[in-house]
Amino acid sequence: MYWRKKRREEKMNKTIFQKLAAICMALIIGVSGASASVQAAPKGYLFTYHKVTVSMHMAAKKFISKAGKPLRTKVSKSCAYDGKDRTYTYKDFILYTYSNTNTGPEYVNGITFLTGKVKTKEGIKMGSTLSAVKKKYGTAKNHFGIYTYQKGKCKLQVEITNNKVTNLRYVATK
């Protein structure tokens, strides 16, 4: 009788321990998952192409694979990091990436628009008017026809000629 009672207690304790362990694991996963999603949230202006959205300093792998084969690719030693800088020229834009090491992952360093077929997340594209730019981004100082907007670790530079957007580029900042 004593041994049966002892075994029942051990079994109950084991069940309680398993439930507590499961709750602890769920809490750990939940907390780490929540912090990972907070860290992963992009800070700055966003660019979407083929249903993939990127921001400056974000990993570029998924974006590059979805963007398709570039017309040209240029690889050079980085002047800022120990890794490589890459330039991917597509029909409608140029993507600039960097890596911190020679074999490390690539991160988005900049995007330059080439045609009016691509647009910012706010809807501005080559050919948009200065008033449309100001309506979406507000006012900025005019530096020889270039208006620069800062958000997070990204600058959006908009070049205006004859009241129309003639150049758009995202530039990563520190």
Whether the predicted pLDDT of 33 surpasses 70: no
Least confident window among 50-54, 64-68, 77-81, 159-163:
77-81
Whether the predicted pLDDT of 155 surpasses 80: yes
3 state SS of 60 = coil
Sign of the torsion angle spanned by Cα atoms 97, 99, 105, 108: negative
Domains in the chain: boundaries: 1-41, 46-172
Candidates 3.30.465.10, 3.40.33.10, 1.10.287.610, 2.30.29.30; correct CATH number of 46-172? Answer: 3.40.33.10
- CA angle in degrees (0–180, nearest 5) for 36-42-45: 180
Cβ pair 72, 129 in contact under 8 A: no
Percent residues over pLDDT 90 in the chain: 69
Cβ pair 94, 109 in contact under 8 A: no
Does this model's pTM top 0.85? My answer is no
| The two three-digit tokens of residue 33, written as one number | 């998952």
DSSP state of 160: E
Run of H or E including 67: helix 61-67
DSSP code string of 78-110 = -SSSSSEEEEEE-SSEEEEEE-SSTTSPPEEEE
